[in-house]
Structure formats: structure tokens, C-alpha cells
Amino acid sequence: MIPMAEMREGESIYSHVLPCGTNVHIAAARLRLHLLTHQPTPFLVPIDLNLCHTFYAARAIDDARILSLTPHELSEPIILCKDLTLTEGRPDVLFCDGHHRYVRRALDGERWIKAWLVEYADWQPFRIEGHPTLSQESLKAAAPRPAGGRR
């Protein structure tokens, strides 16, 4: 785990509040850099338009950021972190990085996107401890995050 005090100002943090209220905070930029360095094999995952709508409803998307994505940025896989739970026999995942790439690909008419599926044990070293506790409401009320911003 990474102590919150070691996080740099403006460093990208993925935050999620589970239905039970438990907070999950991941040093998304550090995890992304780790994956870019080690280059695990990405999987192709289908793009779900309903998920895109969910991102907009959660205010996790900034239209200017979607439009500014470069071909190089669009080529990077999204990052999905496996949880320890299953739904309909499939692992539940946290959508840690790539929300804007995902929506842009959907807007471009793509049906599939590359994704790194990170095992639970492999993303635990990137969890942040000591982050202030958030509620579902406070996370949803936060403004859309700019590239590299905290959420």
C-alpha cells in the first residue's frame, strides 16, 4: 500500500465507494506506468454503451478530454482491476483507468477495446492508505476530473 502522504499533488487517484461504503483508492498513474513498463498481454473487451451513460451520470467524463485524446493515448489499453467477487460467474472489476478512452472509442463506433485485467493481488501494492473517506454522494458530486487529476 502507498501512504497518502507519499502521493504527489495532482497525481491521478482512482476512487470508488462500494455499496457497503468501503472506499477503494488506487494510485492509477503509478499502476498505469507499471503496466506500460511490464506490458502484460491485453484482452479485448466489448464496449457497453450503457456503461458510457453511467460514466456521464457519475460525472466521471469531461467532453474536452475525450476530444483531445491523441491516437497514441487511444492506443493504450484501459485498466480493469479484478475484485474478489463474482456476478453471474464472472469476476467483478473496478474500472481504474481509461474512462475517456472507453467513451471515445464508443463515440467512434468501435465495439471492442483493449484492456489490462489486473489480478487482485497485483493491484494491492497500488492501493492508497490514509485517503480521506468519501461517500457515494460526495464522489458523484465531484467535478469531472481533468487528465491526471484526482477524483
The dihedral of CA 150, 97, 47, 110: what is its sign?
Answer: positive
Confidence of residue 145 (pLDDT cuts 50, 70, 90): low
The model's pLDDT over 83-128, given as tens digits with 9 standing for 90+, comes to: 988 788 888 999 999 999 999 999 999 999 999 999 999 999 999 9
Pair 76, 33: CB distance under 8 Å: no
The model's pLDDT over 40-76, given as tens digits with 9 standing for 90+, comes to: 999 999 999 999 999 998 888 999 999 999 999 999 9
Per DSSP bridges, beta strands 78-87 and 112-118 are parallel
- The pTM of the full predicted model, rounded to 2 decimals, is 0.88
pLDDT the model gives residue 79? 98
pLDDT the model gives residue 26? 97
Non-local CB neighbours of 21 within 8 Å, separated by 6+ positions: 135, 136
